[in-house]
Amino acid sequence: MRVTPYHVEVVILALLVQGSSAGLYANISPLNHTCALQSPVLSCTDLANESKSDSCCTETFGGLVLATQLWQTYTGHESAKQVNPKDTWTIHGLWPDFCNGSYTQYCDLSRQYDPLPSPNTTTGTPSGTPVRPWTGTNIGEFLKPFGKLDLLAFMNKYWIAQNQPNSDFWGHEFSKHATCFSSFDVECYGPQYVQHQEVVDFFETVISYYQILPTWGWLRAKDIAPSNETAYSLTSIQAALTEGFGKRPYILCSGPAFNTTAAGKGSKDQGKVVLSEVWYYHHVFGRVQRGQGLRVDADIAGGALTNCATTPGALWYYERSKGSEV
């Protein structure tokens, strides 16, 4: 075969990709990951294994995928016009748990763009590898060379941080979580990979899951709306979200434990009382970027469904603070 400058360039690029990346699996080639040629394999099944399937086309590492959303009443950066969108929950992220419900984090420190790593080691313990704070350009700037100003605008409206700039939050979510999906490994993008291509891909994927999970609407349809005067029962919130999603999500609360409040004095209910997050669980067909998730119950791996107070009328779904919503 005649060797052209193009072939030489491809070989060089392939070697560069192999030498500069730190994928989840050793010795992954950047060649031949044409996922359209492969039948989608469902994650957390026997075939969803790197020895049996292409890890770029099947989620073989973090096969229990959580699409997570936030309800927060302020941002702490209102003066910089960083505010919450009206009548909707906001994005937290897209997380790759292991099929047994455990998880890892910061899987590729060569793609660490988090200015405030939390935890600050890969294991969350002193014996883990340190995760050094990112001091370079904020991750939002990575979108601009790709012409993704519309994506950046959407993120600034619906992916809102609290007590930090939005871009710091996005950097955290990518670095801690996206690097632990097999299908966002750099090798999956082929020998002509462009730096930060997978960052754009991850952000678009997160949004694709967010767009089909209308937490606000599912609650509002059952007359559950933010209020500083009316408290709600966990059973009502669970029922509304389960009806909408088709499976039981995880409902996370913050704030004080019910038995430390005046209303809960004498109770044994230690659940938290401020509605804060919802986590929607999926197994996925093929790579997570396809957006084809099989919805599953949040306790599929044996975990809990909530940390909220179970006493009737114990939960607060607070209104947003004045000036924190547009």
| DSSP letter for each residue of 103-172 | ------GGG---SS-SSSBSSSSTTSPB-PPP-SS-GGGGGGGGT-HHHHHHHHHHS--SSS-HHHHHHH
> Do you know the residue count of the chain?
326
* Marked catalytic residue, from 177, 196, 282, 283: 177
Q: Does 92 qualify as catalytic in the annotation?
A: yes
Distance CA 308, CA 310 (A): 6
* Chain segment 273-287, per-residue pLDDT in tens: 999 999 999 999 999
* Chain segment 44-89, per-residue pLDDT in tens: 999 999 999 999 999 999 999 999 999 999 999 999 999 999 999 9
For the chain, give me the number of helices (H) and strands (E)? 6, 5
- Percent of the chain scoring above 70 in pLDDT: 93
Judged by phi (left if over 0) then psi (alpha if -120 to 50, else beta), residue 32 lies in left
Distance CA 55, CA 107 (A): 15
* Marked catalytic residue, from 33, 59, 172, 173: 173
Q: What is the largest CA-CA distance in the chain?
A: 83
The domains of the chain are located at 5-58+104-210
Q: Residue 10: is its pLDDT beyond 70?
A: no
Distance CA 292, CA 208 (A): 10
- The secondary structure of residue 215, as a DSSP letter, is H
Q: Residue 34: is its pLDDT beyond 70?
A: yes
* Marked catalytic residue, from 33, 92, 196, 282: 92
Q: What is the pLDDT of residue 22?
A: 60
Q: What is the pLDDT of residue 69?
A: 99
Positive or negative, the Cα torsion across 189, 92, 115, 26? negative
Positive or negative, the Cα torsion across 179, 149, 323, 214? negative
Q: What average pLDDT does the segment 243-269 reach?
A: 98
Q: What is the pLDDT of residue 46?
A: 97
Q: Does 198 qualify as catalytic in the annotation?
A: no
pLDDT averaged over every residue in the chain: 93
Q: Give the confidence band of 290 by pLDDT, cuts at 50, 70, 90.
A: very high
* Chain segment 87-127, per-residue pLDDT in tens: 999 999 999 999 999 999 999 999 999 999 999 999 999 99
SS3 category, 269: coil
Q: Does 172 qualify as catalytic in the annotation?
A: no
The per-residue b/e assignment along 244-254, b for 16 or more CB within 10 angstroms, e otherwise, is: bbebbbbbbbe
